[in-house]
Amino acid sequence: MTAAISAMKSGDWDAIWKFLAICLVYGMLHALGPGHGKSIVVGYFIARRGRWRQGVALGAGITVTHTMSAVLLLLILYAIFKATVFAAFETGRVGIERASYALIMLTGVLLVVLAIRDVIKSRKGCGCAARLDAAEGAAQDGACAESGLGSALPPVARWREIIGVAAVTGIVPCPAVALIVLFCLLNSMVALSLLGALVICIGMTITNVAFGIAAVAFRKGIDKGSAHTRIATKIYTVATLAGGVIIFISGLLLFTNQFAGRV
């Protein structure tokens, strides 16, 4: 270990590339563990119809925020506390986590409320069709479809929602990034600490983006498979509500585990 540190400090690119490769793989595998917003990404795109680029954006946005919060907090604390930086980092991280997990639960509740509201509006919009005869009913259905009132489809994901979810979920500093950054800082490798954090971020982004794309694909599969069936509305309603519930439960579990000391 001492030899590897000396090699990196002296500018040995073989040692640096090995270090960065370890950071990349570590980031990809680390993101597969608990947390990191995977359940939030999946829950959101079950509750909302999203585009491919939105799946990529949410997965990447959560990871970048997750990484940047750790780097910024650690650099600030390192400049102030030096030797006791990691203890101070843990203290600050606990408070941020509790607030973030509470906001995640609130996000889930809001998605459920919005889903219920959209279902009620959709039913009211096409309730008049049941009172028409066959010919008039067909015409009314066409009008409702064009206006969007009769659509059973759940709402489309909005960019401002995606930005908000990414900020709320990713604001918790990543301990894996903090560990690498602190290791480099304590060995006077400031530039390498930032480069290592960037590579870990790329590794975690690969994993989270994969979950985002898979969630969008799953939602599109539900939409395509049920678009022309009588149970379409029920499927959309259940899927949309399930997305909000998944996000709420994820936040609740993270919140309770944090208080129980199992972060």
**What is the percentage of the chain residues whose pLDDT exceeds 90?**
13
pLDDT tens digits along 19-60: 899 999 988 988 887 666 787 888 888 778 888 999 999 999
pLDDT tens digits along 158-205: 888 888 888 888 887 887 888 888 888 777 787 888 999 999 999 999
d(CA 50, CA 56): 10
pLDDT of residue 128: 46
Across-strand partners of 49?
Answer: 156
- Is residue 13 predicted with pLDDT exceeding 70? yes
- How would residue 74 be classed by pLDDT, with cut points 50, 70 and 90? confident
pLDDT tens digits along 191-241: 888 999 999 999 999 999 999 999 898 888 877 766 555 565 666 667 667
Domain residue limits, the chain: 12-28+36-259
**What is the percentage of the chain residues whose pLDDT exceeds 70?**
68
CA distances to 66, 75, 140, 232, 244 from 33, rounded to whole Å, are 14, 25, 50, 34, 22
pLDDT tens digits along 142-161: 444 444 444 455 567 888 88
∠ CA 133-137-140, nearest 5°, is 145
Q: What is the DSSP letter of 131?
A: G
